[in-house]
Amino acid sequence: MKHHKQLERRTFLQDRFDILIKRQKNGTATFNELTELDDIVNRDPAIRESILVEMQEGDAPDDHALPIEKAAIEPVKKLSLLDVIRGFINRWFVTEPVGMKTVLI
């Protein structure tokens, strides 16, 4: 005896949404198709709700994710007042004002 898959009621917008999402993930969607996808998401509250749920699930930290190595992140060096003044003076004298051209004679 074969077990038949239970039928699922779907609307045209749900079918079109699935097609457009697949095309977007493959990178073959055109601008018009992306615009249509945006319209479907904004028009159908059930689809919008499912997307929001997926986004919340994607934002949750993964327990099995590899920890970020803290040694790879360099701490920001706090500049002293003397460093700030020195940097300002160097930028002031080193940069050439806009519109001025140096003429070599």
3-state secondary structure 69-91: CHHHCCCCCCCCHHHHHHHHHHH
With bands split at pLDDT 50, 70 and 90, how would you rate the model's confidence at 103? Answer: low
Q: What tens digit of pLDDT does each residue of 17-59 get? A: 999 999 999 999 999 999 999 999 888 888 888 888 888 887 7
Q: Is the pTM of this model over 0.85?
A: no
- For the chain, the straight-line distance linking the first and the last C-alpha, in angstroms and rounded, comes to 97
- What pLDDT shows up at residue 64? 58
Q: Please name which of 49, 11, 41 lies closest in space to residue 24, comparing C-alpha atoms.
A: 41
Q: Please name which of 32, 14, 12, 34 lies closest in space to residue 24, comparing C-alpha atoms.
A: 34
